[in-house]
Structure 1
Amino acid sequence: MAANFSGSLTQDSDEIKEMYCEECDRHGDGYATAVAFCVDCVDYICVTCQRYHKRQFKTHKIQDSNSMPQDFYFEKCSTHPGQLVKFFCSECSKEACKECKDNEHVNCSDVSHLPTVASDIQKSDELRNFSKNMDQLSKNIKDTEKLLDAKCEVIKKQEENATYACKEQSNKLISTYKQHHQDLIDNFDKKMEDTIAKLKKERSELVQMLSEKGRKFEEKVGKAESNMKEEVVKTNTDFKKVKSEHLYLVGNLKALTVDLEQAQKLGKNCELFIKLKLVKQMCKQIQVTTNQIQHSYIQQYKLNISDIPPKVKSLENQTRFFSLDKVHASAEERKITFNCDINHEFASITSLLVLSEHTLLALSYKRCSLVIFRLEKSKAEYIKETKFNISPWGIAKVSDNKIAVTFPYEEKIRLITFSEEMEVLDTTEIPGHGRCFGIAYSNNHLVVSYRYTGSLEILSMSGKIVKLFDKDDNDQNRSTFPHYLTVSPDNTMIYVSDCGRYSVTCLNFDGMLKSIYKDDQLKFPHQLAVDEYGSVYVCGRDSNNVHQLSCDLTKVKILDKSHGIDTPTSIAYCQNTKRLFVGMNESSKIKVFSVSLE
């Protein structure tokens, strides 16, 4: 759409009170005031053109100057500069001139006259609701600023602590080194009593040599300290850029708000209508970026300081005085606090799945059913139960409205599609290749585990075997009872809980073993879940706990009876709300925890 009004049409004024004749303008007859409007042609016409129009189109409906549309919109079409924008297509959400309407929108069913469709925009729910949303967005950005300030304070504290530790260690290194030199000099001085004349020159040379070595050593330690300081500062450089990104968003939001308010004040409904559509699209992007900023991650690290060797030669030969070990986000201990309990009456829940931040699914093995809960901020309520003819076991999310469920004693997998109201729309069966228990979805494939063969399969969505992992390098079964499995957030790793070996195994999608987790405090492991950082949570049914593991299966934290955990068998994680759901075999409750980085 053109951004500048035509000088001949606007008469160098933004306050246009009259419309010109479009027929005269098209034929180059100059400017003429419009006194009528043809409803059929959707054209404004002058007195002269009205007489000819009535003769030529006797059936057309003509509105006089009192009844014709008065909300004039003078923007020219960007595709057809000679045409005014007079229509709006609700299907495409685009404005259009007459040529655009007849060509580009010929198949659209809802193309309306722009002044007509925009006549009630000032009082519309769309404008009013959008204004409220703008207020909420502004509040979210202000809250984000506070969150950023707090995180920046944490970074500053980290930098100060690391810098102080570097300086302390540098002083110790240099002091120790100087003491070594002084000891050598003192020992030499003792010998000087007998050989002072002979040794004066040697002493002088020794002092000079040690001085030069000391200078070089101080330079080496100082350089190591300087490099370490730079590395500490660079560690969270990307996060620090977030602050400037936030300020840029605030400026954009203010500019958009001013444009919208100005259009409202001028009372130009057509311009307001178009700006509203544009601003709504831009605000969606601002909200997405704001959410990303709110969940930005501070890199944690540990400063390692080398031991000071007892001998000067070893100290001189030392090449590394400091090192910085970055801690992977999955290895950081989470702050896990109780949120609420979900009470239910469904015995033996084998698996949980968060379908969306508002929907939790549970499989009841004994009742042969799928149970659906609606999730709110601090509570949940039962919605409905879908019955099966045989007990289900594992569950995986395929899309926002589709899941995959294993039925080990039918040796089948069912793909179930839901409506928005969580009614079952369609069920498709995929044959398993034995007693299939664990299941996960990854890159349009299903990963399935089989209890009695201890094998894993990667299947196409039609059930065709793409890959089979059954034996390890020693020709032994990979697992004994692989009841559950899940995949990493980046779809590169498969995690399997083995009830027979009391272990959790990590392998890649080529079947290569990456790591194994075994611990005396993990007994009879059941369902697993992963969060957005790659942390793995596994239920220990008989050990009455939940283990938090890093992505390489290193133990990070254990939730036990002190957290209300008792015989946990099922677990699920919601990335949007940062909540962990734990179902227990001996309880009619699902525990809900809030999870955050320490």
Structure 2
Amino acid sequence: MATNVSRSLTQDSDEIKEMYCEECDRHGDGYATAVAFCVDCLDYLCVTCQRYHKRQFKTHKLQDSNSMPQDFYFEKCSTHPGQLIKLYCSECIKEACQECKDNEHVNCSDVNHLPTLASDIQKSDELINLRKIMDQVSMNIKDTEKLLDAKREVIMKQEENATETCKEHSNKLIATYKQHHQELIDDFDKKMEETVARLKKERSELIQKISEKERKFEEKVTKAEKDIKEEVVNTNINFKELQLEYLNLVGNLKAINGDLEQAQKLGQNCKLFIKLKLAKQMCNQIQATTYQIQHSYIQRYNLRKSDIQQTKQSVEDQTTLNSLDDQTWFFSFDEVHVSAVERKLAFNFDINHKFKKITSLLSEHTLLALDYDRCSLIIIPLGKSNAEYIKEIKLNSKPWGVTKVSDYKIAVTFPNEGKIRQITFSDDMEVLDTTDIPGHGRCFDIAYSNNHFVVSYFNGFTGCIKILSISGIKVKLFALDDNGWDLFIKPYYLIVSPDNTMIYVSDMRRHTVTCLTFDGEVAAIYIDDQLKAPHQLAVDEYGSVYVCGYDSNNVHQLSHYLTKVKILDKSHGIDTPTSIAYCQNTKKLFVGMNQSSKIKVFNVSLD
């Protein structure tokens, strides 16, 4: 009975501070107070077991009750219920008993005594850093709540506007329909004087017929209104799922914090140690989910309504009335592609430099620029505001376009020499290797896509687009449209869509942006009075296209099919923009200007 009582107490109460003899407990000899600890066996021993242990293992080191580990951990192993958890494997990030170590962790080199590991956990940097991480997670969750509130307002406004529009249009449709019928009745009444008796009967029949038609028409309009409302509500399902995810995040964080505080308050270092490890993993998961919620997209849509005919109807001419009877749609719900949603661009900072053209992003930390006149490749580390950090690499010819091939590899065009050079860098952006491939003419801008290069050309009279293999072999040529006319005159700049399905080309002479498929088919052409001499282009992860209007002193945001969305102009600090780049990881837009020594950097957000 003593053994059962001691086991129950040690297992069920974290308040007990006295350690018992593991040998006696293991062999069913009852409960005995531990007075020694074997450093080699990691076992607590009573007076009797200590005496026999010294005889049997003379080389083992024993610690008395004053020097033995005092932080006792009484949790039993779930795999081996008769064994105490006294070890922790840092390789597997898992607690273990002696049998677990002998069987499951036999190849692990970092298995240590748990109370020894946990002795300094209260003041450890790991616990302090976790608290800081959890504080940051809490702040992120609060920021997420604010973002969700803002998105909720957008959704409620959309629903409110859609509901009001539907109701207003439905009322007008029904009222107009009834009005047409009333006009028929009024015309009929004028003729009743001649044949009152006959016309009264006909009028009664007509009213009955009209009432039935009105009922059916009203049902048809009401159903259309109901269907469109359901479609509006369905667009918000994803947002409701985001709200549930957010509530789960809040609950998980509270649970983690509660476990840590309880273990710390009770001085249960071993339990605190294990909870700390689990909390770190959970915090990483919460951070990732928080990022997804913060960058979620609210589906936009346009609600179109049918025309309402207001003309007066006669008995002989019922064209409008019949058209309303035959009409099959009254509302149209059109989803707006994410690339056509206006971005919020907030000025972030300026990068001061002496070069007039940025061209590409090598990474979220490195901006590339080309100086045509100085025959230079410029490397601008982002986050380093001082000019001394900018590196200039001299080239043997005038460069024009550059594209990223891989993390430390780029391709540069040299139109005067008609060649393309691939340059490989080291981690510290020193040139390791260069390889030249044929450019097949005066090659200007270049983009890398699916192990191929997309290159623009201008021979002084007309231009074209070519697709080359990575080794410089010409694969495709796009020069003429379906009617045999030149597609381009001066296509100095181009960019490829994120999904590698579209090519966007700006033509300085025609003041256009053309969207091509990789088969050379023209998908769309953008031309606008507010875009003059378009230069370089950029595209974000959603397919939105940004193009510099050099002579119009602005930057146009276009949808993936080249519809106008937004214009940045002098009010945003834009003046003679020539080059533009977008960083997907940091959501930043970089704009270089010919008449300025600054590169303007904007934060880009969807909502």
What TM-score, normalized to structure 2?
A: 0.85
Question: What is the SS of the residue equivalent to 2:71?
Answer: coil
| TM-superposed deviation, 1:139 | 2.4
Matched, 1:247 2:255: no
- The 1-side partners of 2:400 and 2:83 are apart by 64
Cα–Cα, structure 1 residues 413 and 43, in superposed 2: closer, same or farther, change >3 Å? farther
Matched, 1:383 2:393: no
**Map 1:331-350 → 2, pairs under 5 A:** 331-345=340-354, 347-350=355-358
CA contact (8 A) 1:406 1:414 kept: yes
Q: 2:422 maps to which residue?
A: 414
Matched, 1:454 2:454: no
| TM-superposed deviation, 1:22 | 4.3
| TM-superposed deviation, 1:515 | 2.4
Q: 2:369 maps to which residue?
A: 362
| TM-superposed deviation, 1:213 | 1.0
- The 1-side partners of 2:35 and 2:87 are apart by 21
- The 1-side partners of 2:284 and 2:498 are apart by 25
| TM-superposed deviation, 1:505 | 3.2
CA contact (8 A) 2:375 2:395 kept: no
**Map 1:360-509 → 2, pairs under 5 A:** 360-365=367-372, 366=374, 368-375=376-383, 383-390=389-396, 392-397=399-404, 401-408=407-414, 409=417, 411-414=419-422, 416-419=424-427, 423-424=428-429, 427-434=432-439, 437-441=444-448, 445-451=451-457, 454-457=464-467, 459=469, 463=471, 468-470=476-478, 474=482, 482-499=491-508, 502-509=511-518
Cα–Cα, structure 1 residues 74 and 219, in superposed 2: closer, same or farther, change >3 Å? same
Cα–Cα, structure 1 residues 28 and 385, in superposed 2: closer, same or farther, change >3 Å? farther
Cα–Cα, structure 1 residues 137 and 127, in superposed 2: closer, same or farther, change >3 Å? same
- The 1-side partners of 2:104 and 2:525 are apart by 61
**Map 1:258-407 → 2, pairs under 5 A:** 258-309=258-309, 310=311, 311-345=320-354, 347-353=355-361, 355-356=363-364, 359-365=366-372, 366=374, 368-375=376-383, 383-390=389-396, 392-397=399-404, 401-407=407-413
Cα–Cα, structure 1 residues 59 and 520, in superposed 2: closer, same or farther, change >3 Å? same
Question: What is the SS of the residue equivalent to 2:194?
Answer: helix
Cα–Cα, structure 1 residues 334 and 7, in superposed 2: closer, same or farther, change >3 Å? same
| TM-superposed deviation, 1:350 | 4.2
Question: What is the SS of the residue equivalent to 1:187?
Answer: helix
- Of stretches 484-493 and 220-229 in structure 1, the one that deviates more from structure 2 is 484-493
| TM-superposed deviation, 1:204 | 1.9
Cα–Cα, structure 1 residues 69 and 305, in superposed 2: closer, same or farther, change >3 Å? same
CA contact (8 A) 2:73 2:270 kept: yes
- The 2-side partners of 1:123 and 1:271 are apart by 15
Q: Describe the superposition over 1:491-528 as per-residue Cα deviations: whole angstroms up to 9, x where unpaired.
A: 44333334565443333455554323344544443332
| TM-superposed deviation, 1:134 | 1.6
- Of stretches 470-479 and 489-498 in structure 1, the one that deviates more from structure 2 is 470-479
Cα–Cα, structure 1 residues 428 and 514, in superposed 2: closer, same or farther, change >3 Å? farther
Q: Percent identity?
A: 67
Q: Describe the superposition over 1:255-282 as per-residue Cα deviations: whole angstroms up to 9, x where unpaired.
A: 1111111111111111111111111111
Q: 1:58 maps to which residue?
A: 58
Cα–Cα, structure 1 residues 450 and 189, in superposed 2: closer, same or farther, change >3 Å? closer
- The 1-side partners of 2:572 and 2:435 are apart by 39
| TM-superposed deviation, 1:123 | 0.5
Cα–Cα, structure 1 residues 117 and 425, in superposed 2: closer, same or farther, change >3 Å? farther
- The 2-side partners of 1:341 and 1:279 are apart by 40
> What amino acid does structure 2 have at the position aligned with 1:260?
L
- Of stretches 489-498 and 232-241 in structure 1, the one that deviates more from structure 2 is 489-498
Q: 1:559 maps to which residue?
A: 568
- The 2-side partners of 1:51 and 1:425 are apart by 69
CA contact (8 A) 1:373 1:382 kept: no
| TM-superposed deviation, 1:164 | 1.6
- Of stretches 244-253 and 17-26 in structure 1, the one that deviates more from structure 2 is 17-26
> What amino acid does structure 2 have at the position aligned with 1:352?
S
| TM-superposed deviation, 1:28 | 6.0
> What amino acid does structure 1 have at the position aligned with 2:391?
E
Question: What is the SS of the residue equivalent to 1:506?
Answer: strand
| TM-superposed deviation, 1:552 | 0.8
Matched, 1:173 2:170: no
Q: 1:135 maps to which residue?
A: 135
Q: 1:573 maps to which residue?
A: 582
Question: What is the SS of the residue equivalent to 2:95?
Answer: strand
> What amino acid does structure 1 have at the position aligned with 2:581?
A
- The 1-side partners of 2:392 and 2:28 are apart by 71
Q: Describe the superposition over 1:21-51 as per-residue Cα deviations: whole angstroms up to 9, x where unpaired.
A: 4455566666554433332333334444444
CA contact (8 A) 2:11 2:76 kept: no
Question: What is the SS of the residue equivalent to 1:432?
Answer: strand
> What amino acid does structure 2 have at the position aligned with 1:113?
H
Q: 2:117 maps to which residue?
A: 117
Q: Describe the superposition over 1:106-136 as per-residue Cα deviations: whole angstroms up to 9, x where unpaired.
A: 5555443322222111011221222122223
Question: What is the SS of the residue equivalent to 1:183?
Answer: helix
Q: 2:314 maps to which residue?
A: none
How many aligned residue pairs are there? 583
> What amino acid does structure 1 have at the position aligned with 2:339?
S
What TM-score, normalized to structure 1?
A: 0.86
- The 2-side partners of 1:287 and 1:438 are apart by 39
Matched, 1:594 2:603: yes
Cα–Cα, structure 1 residues 417 and 59, in superposed 2: closer, same or farther, change >3 Å? farther
CA contact (8 A) 1:336 1:594 kept: yes
CA contact (8 A) 2:360 2:404 kept: no
> What amino acid does structure 2 have at the position aligned with 1:496?
V
| TM-superposed deviation, 1:250 | 1.1
